[in-house]
Amino acid sequence: MNTSPHASSSGPIRDLQPTLHSHGAPPLQPKSLSSQTTGIGALLAEQAGRGQSIEWSPMLSIGIASIDAQHRVLVAYINQLTHAVAHGQTARILQAVLAGLDGYTRIHFRHEERLFALHGWTEHVDHADGHRAFERQLAEFRRRFEDGDTSIGLEVLKFMIYWLAEHILSDDMAYSAFLREHGVR
Ligand SMILES: [Fe+2]
């Protein structure tokens, strides 16, 4: 995995940041980025655009260990994808990442939604809607890949970085304080 701070900015992912900035909208068309996540999302996109891995940091933590552990898996998939795209989007890696994300999100979303139900978080419906939208988008990517479109690596990467910045760092933060007040660690 390329962690060099001097990674080349040339190659297939050099357009990642301008694309993310100019359109600001992933395939999901979710609500617009908040000012906070725009900054973080832009930073993460810039890193990925240089072919750099995202390092886990306290900035990414939502303060609940089990969920942070699962979010680390998501970051690992993003890094795997960044590497694959930077080195020519090998179909084999893209296929593995799409399948891995499918499995990961099933476990992760079920875990989050179980905690919402257990502790009575009132905004669980909107949050779960976000999960279902993610699942639909991922299923669409997998369908396109299986139909022979193996050039979707950059698109998937943009979507995942947006998801990391918007859903985890904003939407997941929204339930974090509530669950911690109810003793979830
Ligand atoms: Fe979530």
Digit-coded pLDDT (tens) for 135-178: 999 999 999 999 999 999 999 999 999 888 888 888 898 899 99
More confident residue, 18 or 15: 15
Q: Fold for domain 16-23+32-54+71-181? A: Four Helix Bundle (Hemerythrin (Met), subunit A) (1.20.120)
- Ligand 1 centroid to Cα of residue 163, in Å, is 10
Amino acid at 130: G
pTM of the predicted protein model: 0.79
pLDDT tops 80 at residue 32: no
- Ligand 1 centroid to Cα of residue 168, in Å, is 6
pLDDT tops 50 at residue 105: yes
Report which DSSP code applies to 185: -
Interval 73-93 mean pLDDT: 91
- Ligand 1 centroid to Cα of residue 61, in Å, is 13
pLDDT tops 90 at residue 20: no
The domain limits of the chain are 16-23+32-54+71-181
- Ligand 1 centroid to Cα of residue 179, in Å, is 13
Q: How confident is the model at residue 17 (pLDDT cuts 50, 70, 90)?
A: very low
- Ligand 1 centroid to Cα of residue 145, in Å, is 25
Confidence at residue 43, expressed as pLDDT on a 0 to 100 scale: 81
Confidence at residue 13, expressed as pLDDT on a 0 to 100 scale: 56
- Ligand 1 centroid to Cα of residue 77, in Å, is 17
- Ligand 1 centroid to Cα of residue 175, in Å, is 9
Residue for token digits 């001097």? Answer: 6
CA contacts within 13 A on the Cβ side of 7: 20
- Ligand 1 centroid to Cα of residue 65, in Å, is 14
Q: How confident is the model at residue 44 (pLDDT cuts 50, 70, 90)?
A: confident
Confidence at residue 4, expressed as pLDDT on a 0 to 100 scale: 42
d(CA 112, CA 118): 10
- Ligand 1 centroid to Cα of residue 92, in Å, is 28
